[in-house]
Chains A and B, each alone.
Chain A
């Protein structure tokens, strides 16, 4: 029980290995993947002395628990949750010593959706195209954690951070406000449809996942029917399928698509979207592009 690895004793609803993803391969049909709440992922790594590129575990709503096979330092960030080591309370958002054989438990999120669990040395699965991230659209990278599954840990590269307090994400969320830049296909919608985008009350649909945050609410009226010839889809795209309800493309989104993109949410607002649980009210704040007018 001294090898550098951990075993999942409670895999949770959906726990995946994530890092900063594999940007730069979209032209091959390969999604970016990577941590949805990237600031929380980076923070977790910093707390345990890892570079930002180390892989962490991204949990979904119910957290996860792992038994480590070596003395290690771990940290839990993102969605706040009760943290225990062998049943004893431990701090959230701080480096925690976990002795070999002990169980680190990141409990159900008390706000938000996704917690990040970093270990000193990082989760050391085999990289694919330069990233260890699990991509749930195309099945690249490690499979989601399963009960009893074992994953390797890397060698720590630096000492854990010495911190008294860490910044919290914008949690809990009473309402998710998503600023967005109109285009490239806002001309596929009527004036009324664009007004609906700006004023409509939407909610996060329970059909949301790492591919996209789906919304429920008033449909956006289109001025053109049909589909576009396939075109490249950026991270943060608000793609509008025939039902008129915007889908916010998250990290595992398809790289091309034929439904019009009414606007694009800048990346810095996507971490909040990643923490918005189903049912959270959503408001869009569209504006015109400063770049191309």
Chain B
């Protein structure tokens, strides 16, 4: 299995990303990359090429933590052979403004997260709401995004015992990710707050507020203010 061609920077800042295409049936590829930043850069390049009409027809492009799945490709072998030669610029933040998500930082695990971060709950709120996140990938449920942005020292484990019911709108942490539950479901993430934002509305265009690449900021709102109280 080829591991791609590392290095080879060009004057424009584009480079050849180390990547490994793995077979997915007769018409797919799972492209493994070195880290989340490489996934983002590769995914952006795929979307650029798709928009420019230079990518062969692909039914699904699904970025994830370390991989991008390409499914519904007529000739995956040919694409796999081409990929290591692509010059890919680093991902940029893009020029669209961040989506702002108002959050009441009232989650039941806020104190536990503060202990894991070795700080106070107030500091957790300050750090979390001061971070610019971006949607690394989606999954788990329509509208659920895996948001990255917190530095490694603020990554937290899942709860030892998952909750049977996490309320809709819960803002939660697990591993490197922040997520917002688009509906009530079982879950093992650490709950730090609550949002009233409708992440998934099939009657809206777009139905999903979070798509891979979307930038997100969490805005603290008072847990006491009457208009926010439920």
* Chain B residues, CB < 8 A from A289: 23, 26
Q: Is A30 engaged at the interface, CB distance under 8 Å to the other chain?
A: yes
* Chain A residues, CB < 8 A from B28: 234, 264
Q: Is A292 engaged at the interface, CB distance under 8 Å to the other chain?
A: yes
A292 in contact with B77 given A23-B72, A26-B60, A29-B144 (CB within 8 Å): yes
Verify B142–A28 contact, CB threshold 8 A.
Answer: yes
Verify B68–A292 contact, CB threshold 8 A.
Answer: no
* Chain B residues, CB < 8 A from A27: 60-63, 137-138, 211-212
Q: Is A244 engaged at the interface, CB distance under 8 Å to the other chain?
A: no
Q: Which of B1-50 contact A (CB under 8 A)?
A: 1, 21-30
Q: How far is the CA of A229 from the CA of B67 in the complex (A)?
A: 9
Mask, B45-87, CB within 8 Å of A = 1, is 0000000000000011111111111011001110010000000
* Chain A residues, CB < 8 A from B25: 180-181, 234, 236, 264-267
Q: Is A206 engaged at the interface, CB distance under 8 Å to the other chain?
A: no
Verify B76–A292 contact, CB threshold 8 A.
Answer: yes
* Chain A residues, CB < 8 A from B140: 29, 254, 256
Most buried by B among A23, A183, A229, A234: A234
Q: Is A140 engaged at the interface, CB distance under 8 Å to the other chain?
A: yes
Q: How far is the CA of A266 from the CA of B210 in the complex (A)?
A: 31
Verify B80–A29 contact, CB threshold 8 A.
Answer: no
A83 to chain B, nearest CB (A): 34
Q: In chain B, what residue has the closest Cβ to A235?
A: B71
Verify A128–B23 contact, CB threshold 8 A.
Answer: no
Q: In chain B, what residue has the closest Cβ to A182?
A: B23
Q: Is B93 engaged at the interface, CB distance under 8 Å to the other chain?
A: no
Q: In chain A, what residue has the closest Cβ to B71?
A: A234
By DSSP majority rule, is chain A's interface helix, strand, loop, or mixed?
A: loop
Q: Is B156 engaged at the interface, CB distance under 8 Å to the other chain?
A: no
A291 in contact with B67 given A29-B141, A234-B25 (CB within 8 Å): no
Cβ-neighbour of B77 out of A23, A232, A254, A291 (below 8 A): A291
A29 in contact with B30 given A234-B25, A291-B76 (CB within 8 Å): no
* Chain B residues, CB < 8 A from A29: 138-144, 208
Verify A129–B202 contact, CB threshold 8 A.
Answer: yes
Q: Which of A219-236 contact B (CB under 8 A)?
A: 229-236
B133 to chain A, nearest CB (A): 17
Verify A184–B142 contact, CB threshold 8 A.
Answer: no
Verify A231–B67 contact, CB threshold 8 A.
Answer: yes
A213 to chain B, nearest CB (A): 16
A292 to chain B, nearest CB (A): 5
Verify A28–B26 contact, CB threshold 8 A.
Answer: no
Verify B30–A291 contact, CB threshold 8 A.
Answer: no
Q: Is B189 engaged at the interface, CB distance under 8 Å to the other chain?
A: no
Q: Is A138 engaged at the interface, CB distance under 8 Å to the other chain?
A: yes
Q: In chain A, what residue has the closest Cβ to B64?
A: A231
* Chain B residues, CB < 8 A from A256: 62, 64, 137-140
Verify B23–A181 contact, CB threshold 8 A.
Answer: yes
Q: Is A88 engaged at the interface, CB distance under 8 Å to the other chain?
A: no
Q: Which residues of A contact B (CB under 8 A)?
A: 23-30, 128-129, 138-140, 180-185, 229-237, 254-257, 261, 264-267, 289-293
Residue pairs across A and B with Cβ atoms less than 8 A apart, 19 shown, are A26-B71, A27-B60, A27-B212, A128-B202, A180-B25, A181-B24, A183-B24, A184-B23, A230-B64, A231-B65, A232-B71, A235-B71, A254-B140, A266-B26, A266-B27, A289-B26, A290-B77, A291-B23, A292-B77
Q: What 3 A-B pairs come out closest when comparing CB atoms?
A: A232-B69, A256-B139, A289-B23
